[in-house]
Amino acid sequence: MDNSIKELIKASLREGCRNFKKIGISGKHLPPIFISQPKRKEWGDLSTNLPFLLQKESGKDISKIGKLLVSWLENEDFLARAEFISPGFINLFIAPSYLKQTIKKIIVQKEKFPRFSFGNGKRVQVEFVSANPTGPLHVGHGRAAALGDSLANILEKAGYKIEREYYINDVGSQIERLARSVWARLQEVEGAGVPFPNDGYKGLYLIDIAKEAKDAFGEKLKHEESKQKLFDLLGKFTVAKILKEIKKDLDEFGVRFDRWFKESSLYENGEIPRTISSIKDRGYVYEKGGALWFKTSPFLKDEEDRVLKRKSGEYTYFASDIAYHRVKFSRGLHQVIDIWGADHIGYVPRMKAAIQALGYPEGSLQVIIYQFVNLKRGEKSISASTREGEFVSLRDVLREVGRDVARFFFLSRTQDSHLDFDLDLAKKQSPENPVFYIQYAYARICSILRKAESKGITINNLEEAKLDLLVAPEERELMRELALLPDQVREAAESLEPHRLTTYLQELASLFHQFYTRHRVISKDKDLTFARLTLIKAVKLAIKDVLGLLGISAPQKM
């Protein structure tokens, strides 16, 4: 049951409903069951509103339904008790034996806890960042990087086999603009001023690359037979240089990819015409005005048909992107998750239509849209345009606030929210930043464990730990929080929302700090010391594990 207390309860309730025909619910009509964490302690560790839903469905008396379900739940050994509360909730109290068992599982299984079966080894690809290789990564890419990497970690934990991929748009007009920009910088370096292209990339990083190009090619550039060949050469050179820097930045941010996929390879392998003819075979391609069009109408209302091949003979970005997705799915992936910036929002329906035109179910492609980051210094907004060259790079942000703060910051908001990243605030908050609060809890535990070890107190035999001694409210709260860890991870995986885990970690750290200020772990009472050491060791492992999912370090000392 994947160590999930909520799943245990749901399964029990489903069975209970089947057994109580008098509730008037057949298995088929059973509404989805929600188990939530109530706001007040008196309302239990968990609660459900199922009686409300069953009443609506059956018309039977709500308190009768509630009491029947309670009588059923009370037989479960993972629950201490259940109570029906007017107007229609069932409040659930987790059994101490279940809590103790969880602690032992965490310590024994370590990073393998919690274990999930629902991913079932299915292959899922997460494609993210995929920033154009025309300049350094900016802060918005940092959000995508944190989100994608963490999501991949979480899905891995959920039992999926994950592939992380970066799509390199190394073809098209942007690369041509890039090459012309470098060329202009090169002339500049040599003192022969040419007018800088209006639509060029104005960032100063191209000056260094121009110098490097000069060193690499020397006079050869001047003798290149055509401008086109010259730009091809410069474009490839520049893309390679920039990609190297992008990889360096991502590495510093703790993000690794399994595959870097070049758009140009699709051209080299003839993948695009192959893809178009595949869609054509299914009847979704037609010719008009000398161009080839993709027919979206069978899949979408209010969406215009789109060009795949221009009358000039060139393929559109859309065409190569369809080919790219076809390649992805041909690898036998169960699902593809693309993480795109908000500027691609209008592109989603089109791409999903194309996926269906290729013969794959619509849901096999999931697109996560993250909203933009508004970078600020105090009240002042800093624009983030690669073309204009006035942006604060991800690298600069990392230098200023550090990787852990940056990752936590990006991950503590929902991807739907437009977020303000105030560099002044982030720096000012650094000492009291939530991420340090969590890391501090971890370091404190490590410190206590070191102390215990120096006194010769170590946990050798887990069975000897008398966890029954952990009866203080703070201890119980901690245990409950640990017992909910599997559900937190599962829910983050199911909803594709890593930010849920930052909230969980803050809660867990807070409960630990409260416990710490009220109770001494190491005392003269050997049994109690042993039990508490066991408890905090489990907390330590949980914090480390979840921080790991977020890509944040867990330092033993701070």
Partner RNA sequence: GCGCCUGUAGUUCAGUGGAGAGAAUGUCGGCCUCCGGAGCCGAAGGUCGCAGGUUCGAAUCCUGCCAGGCGCACCA
What is the SS3 assignment for 214-238? HHHHHHHHHHCCCHHHHHHHHHHHH
User: Backbone phi, then psi, for 135, in 5-degree steps?
Assistant: 180, 175
DSSP-assigned letter for residue 314: P
Q: Alpha-carbon Rg of the chain, whole angstroms?
A: 29
Among 310, 334, 427, 466, binds RNA (CB under 7 A): 310
Nearer to RNA (CB atom), residue 87 or residue 270: 87
Indicate whether 434 belongs to the interface with RNA (CB under 7 A).
yes
Map the footprint of RNA across residues 172-191, applying CB under 7 A: 172-174
Are the C-beta atoms of 38 and 44 separated by less than 8 Å? yes
Query: Coil, strand, or helix at residue 142?
Result: helix
Phi-psi map region of 221: left, alpha, beta (phi>0 left; psi -120 to 50 alpha): alpha
Map the footprint of RNA across residues 339-368, applying CB under 7 A: 342-347
Nearer to RNA (CB atom), residue 186 or residue 404: 404
Min dist. Cβ of residue 333 to RNA (A): 23
Map the footprint of RNA across residues 207-266, applying CB under 7 A: 263
Among 12, 102, 150, 169, binds RNA (CB under 7 A): 169
Binding mask 37-76 for RNA (x = CB under 7 A): xxxx--xx--x-x--xx--x--------------------
CA 82 – CA 74 distance, rounded (Å): 6
Nearest C-alpha neighbor of 426 from the set 405, 444, 407, 411: 405
Map the footprint of RNA across residues 365-384, applying CB under 7 A: 369, 371-372
Min dist. Cβ of residue 513 to RNA (A): 4
Map the footprint of RNA across residues 98-137, applying CB under 7 A: 132
Nearer to RNA (CB atom), residue 112 or residue 520: 520
Task: Identify the residue whose tokens are 């990819």.
Answer: 257
Binding mask 435-474 for RNA (x = CB under 7 A): -xx--x--xx-xxx--x-----------------------
Stretch that binds RNA, among 168-176, 248-256, 360-368, 400-408 (CB under 7 A): 168-176
Min dist. Cβ of residue 71 to RNA (A): 18
Min dist. Cβ of residue 469 to RNA (A): 15
Nearer to RNA (CB atom), residue 221 or residue 291: 291
Residues in CB range of 52: below 8 A, 6 or more apart: 62, 87, 88
Length of the chain: 558
Stretch that binds RNA, among 22-30, 95-103, 116-124, 430-438 (CB under 7 A): 430-438
**Which segments of 166-309 does DSSP mark as H helices, in order?**
173-189, 205-217, 227-252, 263-268, 271-281
Among 112, 227, 229, 311, binds RNA (CB under 7 A): 311
Question: 315 has which bridge partners?
Answer: 309
CA 360 – CA 329 distance, rounded (Å): 8
Among 125, 356, 412, 534, binds RNA (CB under 7 A): 412
**Which segments of 456-525 does DSSP mark as H helices, in order?**
473-483, 485-495, 499-518
Site size toward RNA (CB under 7 A) is: 90
Map the footprint of RNA across residues 500-529, applying CB under 7 A: 500, 503, 506, 510, 513-514, 516-522
